[in-house]
Chains A and B, each alone.
Chain A
Amino acid sequence: MSAQMEAVIGLEVHAELLTRSKIFCGCSAGFGAPPNTNVCPVCLGMPGVLPVLNRRVVEFAIRAGLATGCAVAPSSIFARKNYFYPDIPKGYQISQYELPICAGGHIDVVTEAGTKRVGLTRIHMEEDTGKNVHDAHAADSLVDFNRSGVPLLEIVSEPDLRTPADAGAYLRTLRSILQYLEVCDGNMEEGSFRCDANVSVRPRGQKELGTKVEIKNMNSFRAVERALVHEIARQEQALADGERIVQETRLWDADREETRSMRSKESAHDYRYFPDPDLLPLVVDPAWIAEIRRTMPELPADRRDRFEREHGLSAYDADVLTQRKDVADYFEAGVGAGAPAKDMANWTMTEILRIVRDEKLDEALVIRSWPIGPTQLAKLIQLVATGAVNRNTAKGLLPRLRGTDLDPEELVRREGLAQVSDRGALEAAVRDVIARCPDQVAQIRAGKEKVMGFLVGQVMKATGGKANAQMVQDLLRAALAESS
């Protein structure tokens, strides 16, 4: 981007909500059913049917609004967005227009240039459409209405973003918030978290916005960033060439790495929004909002602060452990099972997360196959803390415990892995090693301290690695001091 120009980006996210049933009917909102099975006359738009609003959709919308500092409207209106397309069964989509349920919040995003506050224009509820499948029969398309009526939150940001990287950071932060709130699983690849972008460019310092272009069809965070990079460059180039930017919708083509104008047959849509006469205004009373606020799951930022406060973690550790909700849950489960917080944090970050990253287990939305369960890890940590095993042995046990629900203590006992802290046994081993290694003994006596490690190693080997390392050190020193 040239230094004289700046990009202005606003993002529109559609998040599928984790309710059991659809927004306006009692069909399952679940994913993966055979085509046209999670359907009924209402979500198929059959003649005479009527919508009835799902309370939990409203609750989730309010949660999202409270978590982002929005004002929750005491009365909001559902409106019909009228257009024809095979996947919208009624020929209109029930959405919210003039009076959405939430407005005026913000999300704080950590970027390279520091923390940036991105405003939220609005959050509103609407119903999802069905899905078109392009058939093997080239002449036809197939339509599946399982998704028709699944509840969506539309979250619209102010045009406060300035770089593609910031846009990516915003999306990740928003997704994390929605996951923490347990209202959306944030799966961009499966379509439960979708993003459209509005982007324009203008000379730096200019107040007026340039002509904005809408970009659609970005199916991952990476795609969003790349699409924005390309579109910003395209607009910059066009302006440099003396062209005017056309206000239009462009699709991201991930294969060709470019945005293409949508060659749509009709001119710009006139959606003819009007309040849906089948639904009365949605009235939300302050008592309900207070109840939702009280019972809401904890937000990432709040959880991070709490980890510092309650568990005494450093700011850095707390941040690492709360970036993902599943990791934060893992940590707290371990603490709950008795592991001291600092040890649990340490083991989680150094041992567990290392394996998770190496094996790319964190590419899943929710880590399901942990190297070891949190309760097992907690047990292991406690065994080390009480001296029952040494740290090395414990590390070595991780692969053995994986995929099992074996009690680590049980495993230790069974295999005789218990740390040897029996003084007598260790003294014998120490004496034995001293006798066997006269050269090294002489070197130590001559002042080469480093060789002590070799002797300790020998004692460890002789005890099958189970010796209490500290005790071995002490006994060696004592023995060497004796016979000098």
Chain B
Amino acid sequence: MAITRDEVRKVAALARLRLEPAEEERLTADLDHILDAFAKLRVLDTTGVPPARALAEPATPLRDDEVLNPPADDAVLANAPAREGRHFRVPKIIE
């Protein structure tokens, strides 16, 4: 087995995806099937091959330290599912 149901459960928790039991079962089968198909990748000899990182230019561009954005108006909150004045509102966060 390339992946177990228990691992699927753990991964779903990491990704904040709540799965119904049927979904969990199907996903386990799907992922197992897919990872199996990828098995030959794992055994390909890649000794000394650098991981591909940047495709475009080799160095990240830098910008000047200037405040370019004016204070935000209401537009940034317009899509908020819940708000309180200028705050985003969420269920209580328990530390």
Contacts and interface: CB of A to CB of B under 8 A. Distances in A.
Interface of A: 19-21, 25-28, 33-41, 44, 52-58, 77-78, 84-86, 132-135, 137-145, 251, 262, 266, 270, 272, 275, 279-283
A20 B65 contact: yes
A372 to B, nearest CB: 35
Contacts, number: 129
B47 interface: no
B66 interface: yes
Given A20-B67, A281-B54, A282-B59, 10 more contacts: A26-B68, A37-B72, A78-B60, A139-B91, A140-B92, A141-B93, A142-B90, A266-B13, A280-B53, A283-B58
Contact of B65 (A54, A85, A141, A275): A54
Nearest to A78: B60
Interface string B1-19: 0000000000001101000
A252 to B, nearest CB: 12
B86 interface: yes
B64 to A, nearest CB: 6
B63 A140 contact: no
B71 to A, nearest CB: 4
A141 B91 contact: yes
B76 interface: yes
Secondary structure class of chain A's binding surface, majority of residues? loop
A44 B83 CA distance: 15
Interface residues of B, number: 35
Given A27-B69, A35-B87, A270-B14, A139 B60 contact: no
B34 interface: no
A144 B82 CA distance: 13
Contacts of A262: 95
A145 B76 CA distance: 11
A27 B67 contact: yes
A143 B65 CA distance: 26
A395 to B, nearest CB: 46
B67 A40 contact: no
B43 interface: no
A36 B85 CA distance: 10
A21 B66 CA distance: 6
Contact of A55 (B63, B71, B76, B92): B63
Contact of A135 (B56, B84, B95): B84
Interface in B12-35: 13-14, 16
Contacts of B45: none
A36 B76 contact: yes
A37 B82 CA distance: 17
Given A135-B84, A143-B88, A21 B59 contact: no
B65 A19 contact: yes
